[in-house]
Amino acid sequence: MTASAAVAELRSRVAALHTELVRYGLVAWTSGNVSGRVPGEKLFVIKPSGISYDDLTADSIVVCDLDGNLLEGDLAPSSDTAAHAYVYRARPDVGGVVHTHSTYASAWAARNEPIPCVLTAMADEFGGDIPVGPFALIGDDSIGQGIVETLAESRSPAVLMRNHGVFTIGKDARAAVKAAVMCEDVARTVHIAKTGGPLVPIDPAHIDSLYHRYQTVYGQR
């Protein structure tokens, strides 16, 4: 596949993945974004800034280099572009990044509180607690630095950036969207559980076992 064909295919895929953010109630108005790395190229595609999800098309998805510079598209890239670009530069294994302000997960971020691993679904997907990253202002790559530094010490594909919201990573854009969906789901369940009494942690050895099974055995291989 040529580079231009790969870019066109990814723009279409990333545009479609934004509908999943809406479907699962992870975004409000125009907030939130999905990006994807172009395989074999020093490029990624990302949602443009301030565009309604109803108006989002493959043609409106913009193409940037790994420094966050706009290369293709008529619209300004997301205000989170520098953060996404930093993650791609620092983590060659990452093929997709997602940002949301989903309600329950962002509430944990507002409290500067990691989501403790008290559900098997968390052990499966996140391999432990969902960590909190540092507060950082939007506009440069400070958020990206916080994401990379926090996730370097975690198996989690999700990080709660303090006083902000959720960033997730994955091998591709779809995997990052899945992590964002699962992050909000467990954030809600653990919040509800916490209001009813003390949380019961899962033994670390059991977390390891659950994570290994889910990551290597579960589903179609």
Residues with catalytic annotation? 124, 218
CB atoms closer than 10 angstroms to residue 69: 11
CB 96 within 8 A of CB 173: yes
Determine the Cα–Cα distance for residues 69 and 40; give it in Å rounded to an integer. 18
CB atoms closer than 10 angstroms to residue 130: 30
CB 44 within 8 A of CB 38: yes
Stretch (H or E) spanning 7? helix 3-23
Q: Which two tokens stand for residue 207?
A: 């977390």
